[in-house]
Homo-oligomer: A and B are copies of this chain.
Amino acid sequence: MPGELMVRAGGKEYPILVGSGSYKEALPEILRRLGPDKVAVVSHPPLREMHGKDLEEALRDELPRHGRVIWFTFPEGEENKTLGTVTEGYRFLLRESLTREDMILAFGGGVVGDLAGFLAATYMRGVRYLQLPTTLMSMVDSSIGGKTGVDLPEGKNIVGCFYHPEAVIADVSVLRTLPEREVLSGLAEVAKYGFLYDTEILRGMEGWPEGRPPEGYDFAPLVRRCAAHKARVVGEDEMDLKGIRAFLNYGHTFGHALEAAAGYRMLRHGEAVALGMIMASRMAEWSGRARVPLVERHLRVLLPLLRDIPRPLEVSARDILGFMEADKKRGRSLRFVLLREWQSPELVESPPPDLVWETVERTLKDLHAAR
């Protein structure tokens, strides 16, 4: 049995199961407990092609004779995380006669997890679902904590709700088929836990040759460690109202604007967050809030993860600040997570625009100088 962590939130308690081969071990037991007739897998076509047979095998035996595994797949990419795709999902589930006694299984990265979670939360006022993340980023972050959502043209995750799965199953053996750039992008979120809570994680990453995990690296202990941090934070501040869960947005205020300005196809989420954390470390230093030097270590840990982004990155400080300004107009506060020292984050509202500008400019220069 893989190591078991629990999330306590949404009036319930559910496990995070981390291990190699954990889904083949865990799924039969979960199905026996929940007893659905049908399991609707929400995924992308290439994932179905790669893992579909194995996944169906793990599910089949525990379904009743008249039971079925059904697939709702949609194309990859943030641009498909829309109400249009969700509506196709509702219609699909209706055609397949999915009932509130059945189950949804989110099988994919952050886009699949967010969209499948929203579908599960809102189809027939809620059906049970499982998170089976297939990317490092979703294993350590987005699959845990019940945040579901889809985008509008006006912005990411405008539509969504809190709705927790019955279990999160992080099977690190799936990472073997993940493109390396995706793995590196996920490591930015791993580093985030390091900066915020856990110096051991940083030391581990700093020990890697060229700052990247060696061949055959076993991700299970690292994923378990990050998932434990996430589970604890979610338990303490489920609805993101107490300024505790908000720390997990370290690097994200810059990062979201970067993603939007550069285009979601150009920059992976984790890459944007990595750049955003470098910017945040610089802002903390320049504003005098940081009591220790931060930038150098951020560059050391994070620049190696940005190896595969297109250079030069076609994005300007003007674009990035433009997106921040637009977000602010929509009632979203310009709130930054900054470090006072290692593992000591604080929230800073609306810093001086000049400081934001200089921070962004300088970091983009660093990035281009890094090759």
Q: Among the interface residues A94, A125, A152, A330, which one has the most CB atoms of the partner chain B within 10 A? A: A125
A350 within 8 A of B: no
Q: Do B330 and A158 touch across chains, with their CB atoms under 8 A apart?
A: no
A154 within 8 A of B: yes
Within 8 A of B (CB), among A53-93: 83, 87, 90-91
Q: Do B11 and A331 touch across chains, with their CB atoms under 8 A apart?
A: no
CB distance from A138 to the nearest CB of B (A): 18
Q: Do A161 and B159 touch across chains, with their CB atoms under 8 A apart?
A: no
Question: Which B residues touch A126, using CB under 8 A?
Answer: 161-162, 239
Within 8 A of B (CB), among A119-167: 121-126, 147-149, 152, 154-155, 157-163
Tally of chain A residues near chain B (CB < 8 A): 37
Q: How far apart are the CA atoms of A158 and B126 in the complex, in Å?
A: 10
18 contacts between A and B (CB under 8 A): A83-B87, A87-B152, A90-B152, A90-B159, A91-B152, A91-B154, A94-B154, A94-B155, A94-B158, A99-B331, A99-B332, A118-B122, A122-B122, A124-B160, A125-B148, A125-B157, A125-B160, A161-B161
Q: How far apart are the CA atoms of A166 and B119 in the complex, in Å?
A: 25
Q: Among the interface residues A94, A102, A154, which one has the most CB atoms of the partner chain B within 10 A? A: A94
Question: Which B residues touch A148, using CB under 8 A?
Answer: 125
Question: Which B residues touch A118, using CB under 8 A?
Answer: 122
Q: How far apart are the CA atoms of A163 and B10 in the complex, in Å?
A: 12
A278 within 8 A of B: no
Q: Do A124 and B158 touch across chains, with their CB atoms under 8 A apart?
A: yes
CB distance from A241 to the nearest CB of B (A): 8
Question: Which B residues touch A330, using CB under 8 A?
Answer: 94, 97
Q: Do A122 and B159 touch across chains, with their CB atoms under 8 A apart?
A: yes
Q: How far apart are the CA atoms of A170 and B118 in the complex, in Å?
A: 31
CB distance from A73 to the nearest CB of B (A): 21
